[in-house]
């Protein structure tokens, strides 16, 4: 089964930065569109950023200009550089991928990594 392992979260003050990593296994990583999501307490999971296999990117409006998604196919890893973090960015961050045939995300989710932005 595909597996996603997120890391890099932590506590940061407003205006600070974090870089999240997500290592994927048991998939042909290079052909997958990779996605970052987040889920804040009491809210539904929200799509944050996408990077296709060809390098095209998409960001939700609330993070444009502050977050950058990237990938290293040799390491089967996708990253999320988060700059100028704000309290509203506080959430558990998850990654997933589009299944090549269906386009749906995988049912397996990792544990996520907690990001807390606070003074």
What percent of the chain stands above pLDDT 90?
Answer: 94
- Residue 78 is predicted with a pLDDT of 98
Long-range contacts formed by 112-115: CB under 8 A, 24+ apart = 112/6, 112/9, 112/39, 113/6, 113/7, 113/8, 113/9, 113/20, 114/9, 114/10, 115/9, 115/10, 115/12, 115/18, 115/20, 115/38, 115/82, 115/85, 115/89, 115/90, 115/91
13 band by pLDDT with thresholds 50, 70 and 90:
very high
Contact, 60 vs 67, CB < 8 A?
A: no
In whole angstroms, give the CA distance from residue 35 to residue 20. Answer: 12
- Residue 100 is predicted with a pLDDT of 85
pLDDT tens sequence across 20-50: 999 999 999 999 999 999 999 999 999 999 9
């Amino acid at each position: 089964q595909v597996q996603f392992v997120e890391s890099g979260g932590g506590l940061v003050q407003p205006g600070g930065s974090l870089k999240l990593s997500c290592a994927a296994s048991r998939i042909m990583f290079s052909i997958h569109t990779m996605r970052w999501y987040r889920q804040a307490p009491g809210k539904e999971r929200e799509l944050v950023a996408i990077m296709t296999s060809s390098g095209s990117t998409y960001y939700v409006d609330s993070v444009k200009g502050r977050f950058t998604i990237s990938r290293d196919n040799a390491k089967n890893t996708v990253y999320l550089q988060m700059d100028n973090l704000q309290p509203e960015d506080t959430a558990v961050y998850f990654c997933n991928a589009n299944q090549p045939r269906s386009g749906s995300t995988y049912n397996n989710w990792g544990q996520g990594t907690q990001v807390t932005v606070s003074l």
